Chains A and B, each alone.
Chain A
C-alpha cells in the first residue's frame, strides 16, 4: 500500500463543474503539498498546508491532520485546469513522498 493515496486516478468534467480530488496518507507529516503538472513535465506548487484550509482564486485546499486526509477543490472548472494534480507529503527533512496523481480533463 502506498504511503500517499489519491482518488480518483482519472477525472473528466464539463466546464463549470465543481471538482474534488482526495488525498489520504498513512505516515506522519510536517506538511502537505498540492502540485499541478502539465504535459511536458513542469511541476507547479499550488498549496502547502499543515492545517486548516487555503484558498487561491478558484482553488481551495483543506487538510484534516487527525484523519490524515486532504482535499483539493476547483470551483467553476475550466479547460485550462486540465492537468495532473499530485498530492505530496513532507515526511523527513525536505523529502517529498508523492501520490500517483489525478489526471483531470475538463471539456468545454
Chain B
C-alpha cells in the first residue's frame, strides 16, 4: 500500500508565473485535500476534491485551482504567483464516509516565489 506522494519536493518560481503541484493519493482513497502552510503557521485549507469535483473551498482566491483525475490523483494550480504564495503545500488523501480515519499526508512541496 503506497502512501501519498507529492511532486516536486521543492520549486522556485518568479512572481507572475504559474505553477502546478501534483499529488498521488493513497491506494483506496478517493478524496484529496490541499493545504497551504506559511512559515511558522499551521496549515490552511485550500480546497478538497471528491469524485473529480471540488467539494469545499477555503478562503483562497480563484487563481488557486485544482483538478482530480479518475485515478484520484490531483493537481493544484496557482496562477499569477505572488511573493506571499511562498509556502509548504500539503496534500492529504482520505476515503469519504470514514470520518477521517486513515487521513494521510504527503511530505509537501515547498514553493518559493522570488
Contacts and interface: CB of A to CB of B under 8 A. Distances in A.
Interface of A: 4, 30-31, 33, 35, 40-45, 48, 50, 86, 88, 90, 92-101
B33 A33 contact: no
Interface of B: 31, 33, 35, 37, 41-45, 48, 55-56, 58, 88, 90, 92, 94, 96, 99-101, 103-108, 110
Contacts of B99: 30-31, 50, 90
Contacts of B55: 93
Which of B42, B45, B48 has the most CB atoms of chain A within a 10 A radius of its CB? B42
| B contact face: mostly helix, strand, loop, or mixed | strand
Nearest to B57: A95
B90 A33 contact: no
Contacts of B31: 93-94
Contacts of A33: 100, 103
A4 B92 CA distance: 19
A94 B48 contact: yes
A48 B101 contact: yes
A47 to B, nearest CB: 11
B56 A45 contact: no
Contacts of A95: 33, 45, 48, 56, 58
A42 B103 contact: no
